[in-house]
Amino acid sequence: MTFNRRSLLALGVFVALAAMAGLGRWYETHRARPQANASSTLLVHVTNGSDRGPGTLREALFLVASSREPGRISIEVTTITLESALPAIVSGNGISLVAQAGSSLIDAEALPSGPVFDISGPGTLVQGINVRHCPAAAILVRSSHFHLTGSTVEDCEVGVEVAENAGGTLLEHNLLLKNRIGVRFAAAGRDSVIANNEFRENRDAGVWAVRSAFEERDDAIGIHDNMFRGNGIGIVAGNIGVRAERNDFVNAHEADVQIVGAGAVIRGNHLDGGEAMGIVAENARGAVISDNEIEGLTAYGVMLRGSSNTLVEKNRVHNCGYGLAFVLGDPRAVSSAVDNTIIEPKYNGIDVIGDSPVLRRNQVLRAHAYALHIENFTAAGRPTVQAQPFLDDNNFGGSPVSGGVNTAGQHK
């Protein structure tokens, strides 16, 4: 009997020790494991997709925040489900957050408010993540030199929100899908670039760069080589300097590009299809709309309303409802259309309504209505605004001109 009691006691101790050893191995497997590599970078592994606990993204962010070295977070799970706000990324030494399995999904549907990632430290890289269902911004950028690449942001209020004090933001090779706004800038951050991304089906706009007043600064946001497909508006630029070049716009719902105020250069883009306008300049000042190809739109290729000193040059507009329109511009700082080619508009080639632009060396070929339509603007209780464009060496391809303007020197 004594022997049996001792055997049972020994067996119990052995089982307990084995259980503790197994628990220890589980913890080692699932906790965020920090280690320093040869280049003095703190490497932390994320192996747990829960909101909190050992091995989670939350624990990894705390570990790299307290490090005096640059940090690298390796996400090694396919899905992370968030239930509460993550800590801000505050390290001043630079942090890389990289998904190792191609793309790791971060599901933010249960978050009550606030951004998923609050980038408050300089030199942060986020690569290969997929963020979905954010109640606010997926990524809030409040510091300099943030880099987002190879990632998807889907069904969020705002994909990437860039605050006024953030400079050097680089967004490349990402998909911004079905958000209200894909990327929003509060100001023109110096050296900020949006390149080689796809903006698809964002409800209000793909890129929104708007502030209340223009600030004269030589730091326009570069927006180039992106695809905009099926957005409400592709790019909205209002009093923030932007250079939109070599982008493709397809089937926008309202407009491919909308300009408000000063600071926009829209050059060398391709606009294709849809019932929307192409490029709309609303109370724009000093904008440049140059060398764009615009085709297959139901409405206008380029429309200027209430704008001043804006140059529309060398654009090619074909098979659209209308070509160019100038409406109620500033007679003290007139806009110009120079060297544009408009081929086979379904209605008018150039409309001038209550405006006096300079029209020089433009070609309107095979217009189905008028090559040039000129009309004074009359509103109840207000004086009539005369339409008096200055015409110089335009070619209207034999199509009729309306409005009683003197077309001497024009090729009709």
At 345-365, the pLDDT tens digits run: 999 999 999 999 999 999 999
pLDDT at 381: 81
Which whole number is the average pLDDT over 60-74? Answer: 91
pLDDT at 407: 56
pLDDT at 71: 92
pLDDT at 101: 66
User: Element (H or E) spanning 99, and its range?
Assistant: strand 95-99
pLDDT at 406: 52
Which whole number is the average pLDDT over 106-112? Answer: 94
> Has residue 328 got a pLDDT over 70?
yes
Which whole number is the average pLDDT over 135-144? Answer: 96
State the chain's mean pLDDT as an integer.
89
Select the more confidently predicted residue: 25 or 293: 293
The neighbour count for residue 35, using CB atoms within 10 Å, is: 9
Q: Percent helix, strand, coil in the chain (nearest 5)?
A: 10, 40, 50
Residue 93 near residue 120, CB atoms below 8 Å:
no
Calpha distance 304→281 (Å, rounded): 5
Nearest CA-CA partner of 144 in 168, 126, 117: 168
pTM over 0.85: yes
pLDDT at 41: 83
User: Element (H or E) spanning 61, and its range?
Assistant: helix 57-65
pLDDT at 29: 43
pLDDT at 3: 45
33-36/42-46 β-pairing: antiparallel
Question: Is 200 strand, coil or helix?
Answer: strand
> Has residue 21 got a pLDDT over 90?
no
> Has residue 23 got a pLDDT over 70?
no
Structure tokens at 362: 């433009």
Which whole number is the average pLDDT over 16-45? Answer: 56
DSSP, residue by residue, 290-334: ES-EEES-SSEEEEEES-BS-EEES-EEESSSEEEEEES--TTS-
pLDDT at 412: 56
Tell me the pLDDT band of 190, cut-offs 50, 70 and 90: confident
Calpha distance 272→320 (Å, rounded): 10
> Has residue 35 got a pLDDT over 70?
no
pLDDT single digits (tens) 223-264: 999 999 999 999 999 999 999 999 999 999 999 999 999 989
pLDDT at 36: 46
Which whole number is the average pLDDT over 47-76? Answer: 93
Select the more confidently predicted residue: 45 or 101: 45
Calpha distance 251→227 (Å, rounded): 11
pLDDT at 379: 83
pLDDT at 10: 46
Nearest CA-CA partner of 249 in 200, 210, 208: 200
pLDDT at 262: 92
pLDDT at 169: 97
Please tell me the least confidently modeled range out of 14-23, 114-123, 345-354, 395-404: 14-23
Distances (CA, A) of 322 to 166, 209, 213, 291: 40, 27, 32, 18
Please tell me the least confidently modeled range out of 61-70, 236-245, 304-313: 61-70
Please tell me the least confidently modeled range out of 64-73, 174-183, 360-369: 64-73
Q: b vs e for 235-252, b when ≥16 Cβ sit within 10 Å of the residue's Cβ?
A: bbbbbbbbbbbebbbbbb
pLDDT at 214: 77
Nearest CA-CA partner of 173 in 251, 225, 137, 242: 225
> Has residue 7 got a pLDDT over 60?
no
Distances (CA, A) of 133 to 112, 113, 116, 157, 275: 11, 11, 10, 8, 29
Structure tokens at 289: 């709309």
